Amino acid sequence: MKTRIAVAGCTGYAGGEILRLLSVRDDIEIGALTAKASAGSPLGQHQPHLSALADRVVADTTVENLAGHDVVFLALPHGASGEVAAQLGEDTLVIDAGADFRLRSAEDWERFYGTPHAGTWPYGLPELPGQREVLAATKRIAVPGCFPTTVTLALAPAIAAGLTDAHDTVVVAPTGPSGAGKSLKPHLLGAELMGSASAYGVGGVHRHVPEMLQNFRRLGAANPTVSFTPVLVPMSRGILATVTAPLATPLQAEDAHRTYADFYADEPFVHVLPPGQWPMTQSVLGSNHIQVQVGVDAAANRLVAVAVLDNLTKGTAGGAVQSMNLALGLPETLGLTTWGVAP
């Protein structure tokens, strides 16, 4: 029997990526495809790469249209998921690809997002210790942000092993503009973006900061801090995060690498590269794969971890599908690949 799914926000980047991953699966039936402003238009007008679904007409995002499905993906703007999710039945698996249910702290939510906190759902990052068991027993999943996924998996082995307490963590992360969605913004125009790189969200104001700190605490950091600077670069998708943090005690690079290799030895989607090889975004393009490398800056007594992922796949839609598989009792890797597209 096929699992019937609906995607709210099907015309956006995240919604399109969810459909790209699920449309080729024999065990999935694609039901309602909904949006707001583009309701009534054919999906092919917005997602021309999804040729098998091109003639499907986009419906309005209403509870009536989303009801009756086994799984509902919400790929909606921040603040829009709570009202919709509250009206869906408890027997429906609801997976929110937005930020509405990621944060535990209402104070953090209101400070960074400026609206009332909708609540907290189980966090869709299976690689966190114990999280697979949580996801296997829930009907509500909050998909992590793309930057927190990258940064958390870059530093998780070090925090868990006590190599660092994550206090004074510094992150610089170039990324492509697809993470900002399809809404027209002047700084995302091709003429502005091509041949240029620019920092944004500087000074601790980016909305993913509290999510990173929340994850560091879950891994055992008592008083983590992070200075996070995202950098917009002219590639459509991808994140390369360089994460540095002070070492608890002096450490050799080979020992750090061994710690990382052991921590991720059984992870299907996380690959620690051989010593001396550093991650490249093109290696993970279109895949649910995250590549990690770690080194030691002995002069500064700091750990240096670098991680790459595709912000639309492992960073959003792939993570959502991976979590869905776990919640449905299916093989976690079903329909997902570690094979990137290069060059």
Catalytic residues: 146
> Phi and psi of 224, rounded to 5°?
-75, 150
Residue 338: Cβ-neighbour burial (10 angstroms; 0-12, 13-18, 19+) = middle
CA 300 – CA 293 distance, rounded (Å): 18
The DSSP line for 30-75 is EEEEEESTTTTSBGGGT-TT-GGGTTPBPEE--HHHHTT-SEEEE-
- Let me know: does 11 contact 46? Beta carbons within 8 Å: yes
Two tokens, residue 226: 């992070």
Contact 22, 98 (CB under 8 A): no
Q: What are the distances in angstroms from CA 8 to CA 31, 67, 75, 82, 331?
A: 11, 11, 6, 13, 25
Before 343, cis peptide (omega within 30)? yes
Q: State which H helix or E strand residue 214 sits in.
A: helix 209-218
Bin 195: left if φ > 0, else alpha if -120 < ψ < 50, else beta: left
